[in-house]
């Protein structure tokens, strides 16, 4: 769970946050985004609308917080034993996640929220996974790029294609980005 700044991470505060996040996810699976409202979320979570407004301020900030929780990296990326296959597996998964309907909505929610740190959170979450892969490569003695280069040459093109092109790229396309990156080492 990603605690809201200024709230305690245990007890009633954590239970309320979990109930509200669960309500948002449930409602998102049942209704269109335009049908969501703070009073509806509050009713579904069993809290008052003032509780939601006090903790999140706006529906958009609540949606961004749910997106941050969903996108937070919990598990390390797959370890296939080699940098190229680790990066390819991660790139395919990243493309799959970000191009899914929920993935697109989560990214849009983060970017549309008021806090600049929310949109930066997407990059930080990717960097956690990328650095884990690169750290493993370093321990194996494999030459590897830095995390910013992977972001610029793999993550950024994926995001651009998903959000600004018609149709989603094939998973093999994400692998070719990795091939081109590693060919330049």
| Together in a domain, 50 and 78 | no
pLDDT in tens, 41-67: 999 999 999 999 999 999 988 988 888
**Positive or negative torsion for Cα 31, 46, 112, 164:** negative
| Together in a domain, 92 and 179 | yes
Per-residue pLDDT band for 164 (boundaries 50, 70, 90) equals very high
Among the residue ranges 2-6, 16-20, 141-145, 163-167, the one predicted with the least confidence is 2-6
Among the residue ranges 56-60, 79-83, 144-148, the one predicted with the least confidence is 56-60
CB 17 within 8 Å of CB 55: yes
pTM over 0.85: no
5 three-class SS: coil
Two tokens, residue 145: 């790029």
Per-residue pLDDT band for 1 (boundaries 50, 70, 90) equals very low
According to DSSP, residue 141 is labeled T
Rounded to 10°, the helix 116-139/101-112 angle is 120
User: Span 88-114, mean pLDDT?
Assistant: 90
Give the CATH number, domain containing residue 135.
Answer: 1.10.357.10
Mean pLDDT over all residues of the chain? 89
| Together in a domain, 52 and 76 | no
Q: How far apart are CA 100 and CA 5, in angstroms?
A: 29
Please give the residue range of the domain that contains residue 131: 72-183
Per-residue pLDDT band for 6 (boundaries 50, 70, 90) equals very low
Count of C-beta atoms within a 10 Å radius of residue 10: 9
CB 56 within 8 Å of CB 62: yes
| Together in a domain, 77 and 51 | no
Q: How far apart are CA 145 and CA 37, in angstroms?
A: 44
Domain count, the chain: 2
CA distances from 178 to 40, 58, 75, 78 (A): 44, 39, 21, 16
Residue 10 pLDDT exceeds 80: no
Give the CATH number, domain containing residue 50.
Answer: 1.10.10.60
User: Span 152-166, mean pLDDT?
Assistant: 95
Per-residue pLDDT band for 70 (boundaries 50, 70, 90) equals confident
Q: How far apart are CA 123 and CA 126, in angstroms?
A: 5
148, part of any domain: yes
64, part of any domain: no
| Together in a domain, 22 and 77 | no
| Together in a domain, 79 and 108 | yes
Per-residue pLDDT band for 125 (boundaries 50, 70, 90) equals confident
25/4: higher pLDDT: 25
66/91: higher pLDDT: 91
């Amino acid at each position: 769970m990603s605690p809201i700044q200024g709230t305690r991470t245990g007890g009633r505060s954590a239970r309320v946050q979990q109930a509200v996040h669960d309500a948002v996810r449930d409602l998102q699976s049942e209704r269109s985004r335009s049908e969501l409202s703070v009073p509806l979320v509050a009713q579904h979570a069993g809290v008052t609308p003032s509780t939601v407004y006090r903790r999140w301020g706006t529906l958009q900030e609540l949606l961004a917080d749910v997106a941050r929780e969903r996108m937070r990296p919990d598990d390390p990326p797959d370890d296939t034993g080699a940098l190229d296959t680790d990066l390819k597996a991660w790139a395919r998964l990243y493309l799959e996640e970000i191009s899914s309907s929920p993935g697109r909505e989560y990214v849009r929610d983060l970017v549309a929220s008021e806090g600049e740190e929310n949109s930066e959170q997407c990059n930080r979450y990717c960097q956690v996974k990328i650095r884990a892969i690169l750290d493993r490569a370093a321990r194996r003695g494999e030459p590897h790029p830095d995390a910013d280069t992977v972001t610029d040459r793999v993550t950024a093109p994926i995001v651009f294609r998903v959000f600004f092109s018609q149709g989603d790229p094939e998973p093999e396309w994400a692998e070719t980005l990795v091939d081109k990156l590693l060919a330049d080492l």
